[in-house]
Structure 1
């Protein structure tokens, strides 16, 4: 995970932590970290102070979190045969920590919007059922904790498909099982947990969630996120009514009213039954990743921190990777952002605690050319960031 040189004439080496997010659509966090590390090491090559580079690919709980954790753990993904949000066969990945105690699922590997972008969207029928085989694989592996990353979903079924895949039955008044999808939830009468896999209750569930939307209402799952999943205004009303009915049934079954809790509207209501029935905890994604990777320890030991992402803007300072890295780094330690584009005004940057931000863009270029130049550009930017340190006396 790190590369080190011996101390030079008794002078302690400079310790640089490279802790980037992925550059979405262009480079994985593990490759960005490697490119940054190359630039740092080139800056310190030759006489002068030596360097220790600690690499920690990072993520905020959304797309790329599985790859970031696998990269940091130096483990490889496992795959299972499952189904996408429309029930078509797909292979999806999951991860295991080196000690086998923690399992990681990126739900969008099964229920993600990109997987169904080749056909007309079916917001009333889209289901989370495909996440079930991933959970079962982790339970079979004997994990004690499941980290569920839920961004990018195509579904608004309130997580009922996932629970159904684990053995729960969502029943209409006549005792028949409801078909998959959020469109059927208005007919929900009760939930039968007799056949629910008991192991699902015995593990700790933590859900990486970076939105605070409630389950229902004007700010709820259907109203805010339904349209981007293909829902018409009529579909939104039906889906919202179904989620209200689900909340009623969950409250009757467990005594837990999840309808207005912050975050329950994420990923089409996926956290709602996991919270009410299985005791799942919602955690800000970047905080969850930081804890799992013990990022605070590494950042606390650094003399300089390099982080980065595809686009560094105002949103970056509100719960994204750059924000988490800044919060976890001691105030005395410089934090430098390397990004595809950097558009944070100087005053906002100064107030944020970020020391400096550099864009790797050299001018107008095609998207294809920019993607080809991302990793060399990151290496070059990291090189220039570190040249001042490399030849500064200890």
Structure 2
């Protein structure tokens, strides 16, 4: 490691540039709270270090909170129509530029909002997601970052688009409906009444699946059963969505059924692409671009990342591996390390995906509930980062 002087502040020596971007330890401590704790712990011992903290998420659960906390935005509460048609309390994140909304579709149309005994994608809708977008439009937002994981729906965006003013009509001219089971009745699509503000908007969709819209790998057959679909319902939905998609492609002049990710969230990937010119991007890539971490990584000596549990999935595009790979691309000599609550034997695969070494933070045998106690987790994080940083600084010839 080389010692560096901070530009414009020659009186302050900087021993090491450290970037912290750690995912949440779900159910225990958030991304930014973990990052701030680690920063304080490092600076208490090595005050000459420069330590920057960034939020980290992959577009799924926790993305709104991470982006709002890390970028100093605010949460906007909104009452919307839930997946079963009843009113629920939802929200979106408004970033400081007042033009960017961060949305998790699961907050309005997620599977966890539907009791297991009521799960049937013929009877659920994305209408509430459209209401969230409309509320953000009313607040002046024109850029949307939307995570679409965890859906309870298979309506190909019918509900969302209806909430945004698109008209879907039966053969007799009456409204087709807003449920997954309404797709078969759609005979005509009219976009003339769609919200005119949509023309000024960009939609960036965090999408980590590559399924096409229909067929053996499509949304109905792959994801329908976990949403309550029987084999008979799966077969019906696949045909209904293919029928709807053909009408949509003709009406919008855009193909999309075979696009990777078209089948995400019950066809929402298709709907965003065809109707709203949305861009589907792997979740971690989208978040890393949004937080602007690359400039800090370009001068970093050390990256600290991590998550609650590291396993083989971590190496397959999850947030810690994603930011570690970006760090190596920005600064090949950057040392990348990860902290985790636990690690499976398969976690070793992360060493081939950007993470130089990982460190479970448990220091004594304990139950899962004990490990997830916030005070315990904070103590374990502090102890682990202290020891790791002692080693790194000693290797670099830097004393406390």
TM-score normalised by structure 1 residue count: 0.92
Aligned to 2:341: 340
Asked whether the 8 Å contact 1:63–1:106 carries over to 2, the reply is: yes
Aligned to 1:267: 265
Asked whether the 8 Å contact 1:43–1:384 carries over to 2, the reply is: no
CA pair 283-346 structure 1, distance change in 2 beyond 3 A: closer
Distance in 2 of aligned mates of 1:346 and 1:182: 39
SS of match in other structure, 2:304: strand
Q: CA deviation at 1:346?
A: 8.1
2:65 matches 1:67: yes
Contiguous gaps of at least 5 residues in structure 1: none
Asked whether the 8 Å contact 1:295–1:328 carries over to 2, the reply is: no
Asked whether the 8 Å contact 1:217–1:240 carries over to 2, the reply is: yes
2:237 matches 1:239: yes
Q: CA deviation at 1:10?
A: 6.0
Match of 1:38 among 34, 37, 40: 40
SS of match in other structure, 1:307: strand
Asked whether the 8 Å contact 2:325–2:355 carries over to 1, the reply is: no
Aligned to 1:249: 247
Aligned to 1:302: 300
- Higher deviation after alignment, 84-93 or 151-160: 84-93
Higher RCO (CA < 8 A, seq sep 6+)? 1
- Higher deviation after alignment, 349-358 or 361-370: 361-370
Aligned to 2:31: 29
2:277 matches 1:279: yes
CA pair 101-302 structure 1, distance change in 2 beyond 3 A: same
- Higher deviation after alignment, 361-370 or 74-83: 361-370
SS of match in other structure, 1:314: coil
Distance in 2 of aligned mates of 1:25 and 1:93: 19
SS of match in other structure, 1:110: helix
Q: CA deviation at 1:187?
A: 2.2
Q: CA deviation at 1:54?
A: 0.8
Aligned Cα root-mean-square deviation (Å):
2.2
- For 1:92-143, what per-residue CA distance to the aligned partner results, in whole angstroms no more than 9, with x for missing partners? 1112221212211111110111122375213211100011221112211222
SS of match in other structure, 1:77: strand
Contiguous gaps of at least 5 residues in structure 2: 1-5
Tell me the matched-pair count.
386
Distance in 1 of aligned mates of 2:350 and 2:258: 35
Q: Which aligned pairs between 1:1-150 and structure 2 lie closer than 5 A?
A: 11-44=13-46, 50-117=48-115, 120-150=118-148
